[in-house]
Amino acid sequence: MSERSIFEPELLDRCISCGFCLPACPTYGLTGVEASSPRGRINLMRALQEGTLPDDDPTALEESSFCLGCRACEPVCPAGVRYGELLETWRDHSWKGRRRSPMLRLLLWSTAQTWRVRLMGLRRHARRRLGTGPSLMLGCFERALFPSVSRAAAALVPGASISSHQGCCGALHAHNGERERGRRLAVQLGYDLPGTILTTSGGCAAHLGSVLGGDRVFELSEWLGEHPPAVTPSRPRLRVAVQDSCHLRNGMGIWREARTLLAEVAEVVELPSASACCGAAGTYALLRPRDSRRILDAKLDEIRAADVDYVVTLNPGCLRQLQSGLRRRRLRTRAIHLAEVLS
C-alpha cells in the first residue's frame, strides 16, 4: 500500500507520540481507549495516509466524528502539534457525500448563503447603525436564538457599526468537512464587513482570525480587555462562574480577559473544569446529543456544587448547551453571555 497525501506530512510528523495530550482529552476521559485520544487519532490519520487503513474504516470514521474538536490537546502539547488543522483536514477528506448526516447537511446548507442567514434574523433583526468603531458580527444561529447578545454587545461598544447584510463566517463548514467553503465564507464576510470585525462567539473569532488574520478579528472579551466599558457592580453582588470557549482559549490563548472584566461587577468563582469543553462543540450537541450530554454532565455537577447565580459563556453554542442542561437538571443557576452580564 502506498503513501497518500491527505495530510501535510510536517503536521503529522510533529507529533512525537509522548501522550501528554491524553489527560486533556474529554473523549479519552470518557472511554479510556487510545483511539479516542489525540495521539491515537493522529495514529489513525497516519494509517489513512499510509494506506494501512481504508477511508471507510469504521473506527476511523467514528473517531473523526466522536472528537469534539475542542483542541484542549493543543496547549498541553510540548511539540506544538496543530491538531485543529489536522482534524479539519481529516473531516474534509473522510466526510464525503452520504457520510454526512441529513441534520449536518441541513445545518451547512442553511448557513452557506448570506440570504439564508439573514432570513434567520428576520423576526427580530438588529437595528442598522453606522459607527466609527469595529463592525459587529451578528452570527448565524445566534441571530435567531440570541439576538439579545448582539444588542448587549452593541451597547458595550458604542461606536460599533451594525449591518444586516452579513452571512456565516464559515467556522461551521470548516469544522465539518468543508474546509474550502469555510474559508470562502470567511473571505466573503471580511468583504461584507470592512475593517475590524468584532464577534461575540469565540469559535467564530478563531476561524475568522485564521483566515482574515488576527489583527482584523476581535472576540468581545478580547476587545473589551483593551477598551474597558463603563460598568456598574451588581447589587447584591452576584456570584458567577466562567465557561471558557474552547477555540478562544485553546486556539487563541484568550481566557483571562473575561475573568478580569467580570471581577469588576461580580464575584468570580473558578469551576475546576472551566477550561474543559461543555459538549456543545459547534454542531456536536446536535449531531451527537448523547455524547454531548455525557461531556456536560460532570460540569453540571460542578455547577450545582458551586451554586453560582450565573455561568457566563463566550460563545452562543456553549450558551445554548448550558441553558438546556441547567433546565434539565432544574438548577437555580442561569447561563448567560458575557455581553449581557456587563451591559
Partner 1 sequence: MTLTTSLRDRLAAVVGPEHVRDDPGTLEAYARDATPLHRGAADAVCFPADTAQVQRVVKIARAERIPLVVRGAGTNLCGATVPQLGGIVLVMTRMARLIELDPGNMSAVVQPGMVTATLAEEAAAHGLLYPPDPGSRTTSTIGGNVGTCAGGLRGLKYGVTRDYVLGCEAVLGTGEVLRYGGKVVKNVAGFDLARLLCGSEGTLAILTELTLRLVPAPLASGVGLAYFSRLKEAGAAVSRVLASGILPATLEFLDSTCLRTVEEFAGIGLRADAGALLVFGQDGTPEVVAADLERIAVACRAEGAIEARVARDETEATALLEARRAALPSLSRLAPLTILEDATVPRSRLAEMVERIEEIAVRHGLLIGTFGHAGDGNLHPTCVVDPAHPGVVERVETAFSEIFDAALELGGTITGEHGVGLAKRAHLESQLGRAQIELLRRIKLAFDPDGILNPGKLAS
> What order of strands is seen across the sheet that includes strand 267-269?
267-269, 239-243, 310-313, 334-337
User: Least distance from C-beta 248 to partner 1, angstroms?
Assistant: 23
Alpha carbons 303 and 220: distance in angstroms, whole number: 24
Select the residue interacting with partner 1 from 1, 56, 58, 130 (CB under 8 A).
58
Alpha carbons 331 and 16: distance in angstroms, whole number: 44
Q: Which of these segments, 59-67, 158-166, 194-202, 230-238, binds partner 1 (CB under 8 A)? A: 59-67
Site string for partner 1, 77-106 (x = CB under 8 A): -xxx--------------------------
Q: Is 3 in the site for partner 1 (CB under 8 A)?
A: no
Nearer to partner 1, 86 or 336 (CB): 86
Alpha carbons 69 and 56: distance in angstroms, whole number: 20
Select the residue interacting with partner 1 from 4, 52, 109, 165 (CB under 8 A).
52
User: Least distance from C-beta 80 to partner 1, angstroms?
Assistant: 7
The dihedral sign for the CA sequence 102, 107, 108, 110: positive
- In the region spanning residues 175 to 234, those forming contacts with partner 1, defined by CB under 8 A, are none
Q: Which of these segments, 41-49, 102-110, 219-227, 270-278, binds partner 1 (CB under 8 A)? A: 41-49
Q: Is 13 in the site for partner 1 (CB under 8 A)?
A: yes
Select the residue interacting with partner 1 from 6, 8, 30, 47 (CB under 8 A).
47
Nearer to partner 1, 32 or 97 (CB): 32
Nearer to partner 1, 10 or 215 (CB): 10
Cis-peptide into 272, omega within 30 deg:
no
Q: Is 34 in the site for partner 1 (CB under 8 A)?
A: yes
User: Least distance from C-beta 180 to partner 1, angstroms?
Assistant: 27
Q: Is 67 in the site for partner 1 (CB under 8 A)?
A: no
User: Least distance from C-beta 197 to partner 1, angstroms?
Assistant: 30
Q: Is 22 in the site for partner 1 (CB under 8 A)?
A: yes
Q: Is 26 in the site for partner 1 (CB under 8 A)?
A: no
User: Least distance from C-beta 13 to partner 1, angstroms?
Assistant: 4
Select the residue interacting with partner 1 from 1, 2, 5, 32 (CB under 8 A).
32
User: Least distance from C-beta 17 to partner 1, angstroms?
Assistant: 5
Cβ distance 250 to 87 under 8 Å?
no
Select the residue interacting with partner 1 from 7, 26, 27, 63 (CB under 8 A).
63
Q: Could you identify the residue written with the cell 497516519?
A: 46
# binding residues, partner 1 (CB under 8 A): 32
Question: Where do contacts with partner 1 occur on this chain (CB under 8 A)?
Answer: 9-10, 13-14, 16-20, 22-23, 32-35, 37, 40, 43-44, 47, 52-53, 57-60, 62-63, 76, 78-80
